[in-house]
Structure 1
């Protein structure tokens, strides 16, 4: 969730401005494709970003999941484009109830279902003839980190080569914990209130060091959900975070988790807990804490700060692919 923004200017056609998509992607050295993928739970909107040169060998595949209220069309692309520039094939999908995917906007009434829906697309690409021989990584940001962990738990043990998590939501900060009174009260309506957008939104000041132009740009996303949190979504966030914390010891693959120490939206203690409890060999798990940085490590910080995070991510995945490559699978 983003801090409230008022009197925002008219958004540009794209987060980067007025430059046509094909021209912009070409200037970044990547190519983009868009499509819809049919799942048992509805159609989801998907995108891919690959190196511009079709003859350039792809290092590995990365499957990315955005956070709550977000989608793949706006500033989340900065992460996707960066990985494609580094030589990776990147695939992402709008979560159910988000962006251009099916579902009531802002509503995730079943977190496991949302995870399995995106996973059905990711699995189809990961197991395709073109990519099955490559190492494959799951990437999740914020609530997308929570859903990424659920995808990992739903997958075959050897399906993924590693996890990359940016400010994952594993522990909810005290001011953001949904009211038990509200959840109980609406729960007594036998599901009738599950989709209602009536949960009190958290009101917090942005942490020190935020580049305020970037949160404003994030809030201008025309596909962003800007309403109050829906009852079922908040219930599932509470249930999902409790579930993954109880199952951290089942994580056995290499992972990198990045977290800002001034994050008001997801407690760094959740990332620390994952690092401590995961059964991944110590040399294959890494926790990077960024002093004074907030929740949106790539899209919400000054360029020099976000560039540092991206450099750390590049170093980690390049090392894992060089060390293990397809042998991870």
Structure 2
């Protein structure tokens, strides 16, 4: 037998062994974890009044869960809670105003939830703050706000519900991070820092909670069409930064629907998996970044050269942040962004 034939056979054998091991691992761990059902469970979704959080809440209501949502805008919470109540059973939806970065707000909201619906079975830490702009245009407050929302918020909620989950030896926590928590985002440094912190916290928590029957899942979506660009905080050259973000967010293939991402995240929760990344191109990007980190960072550096420069400071102040809806242009309202604009209407983002 030639050397090449031996090599080919060895390669095939190694591939089959790896595939068999992966399948066996998946079947074994699934059997150990059991199949989780949302029916009859009490589920809390932070940032559930619009966008991805609202889509997840709809899915949970449809699955027969009692759902509590919170956000900072009272009108948005009311509209979302009314919609969810119409979709579900009477008395099984709670909406409340809550700043996730304020621990007393978190405690007050969760007391309302448990009084009305009972102990929390599933916690979805989804509240987020999207911000974009060159690092030179960011302030310390931008980083503090990102950490307050993306790390401290999930931490405060988890600290309140986890002890009871451990006591019951049952529970699920879904932490909604971002591909920015796995791969640094160009002109998204403050956002990246907050989401990286959440990934680290979520993965560390999972290792210790599992012994108590509690499974922590991290979802890292890439671009998904929730309609959220309208509420993003934009620094630097506002119109150029926003146009690039909104157009990319609308491209089929590169972005996915919020409904598809929610289904993937909740399926991972049911199976007790540690992580899910959607859509597919971003999962590949995260794997590439893990395997070839230096090369990946060099490539991102080259892409960074194509991004808009930071404008000079205005006096002693950097350029002010503006919301996406404040810097709309004919381009960002064109057919190029149609999918995102329709998602904004559908998901309470307008």
TM range (shorter): 0.3 to 0.5
Using the size of structure 1 for normalisation, the TM-score is 0.37
Larger Rg: 2
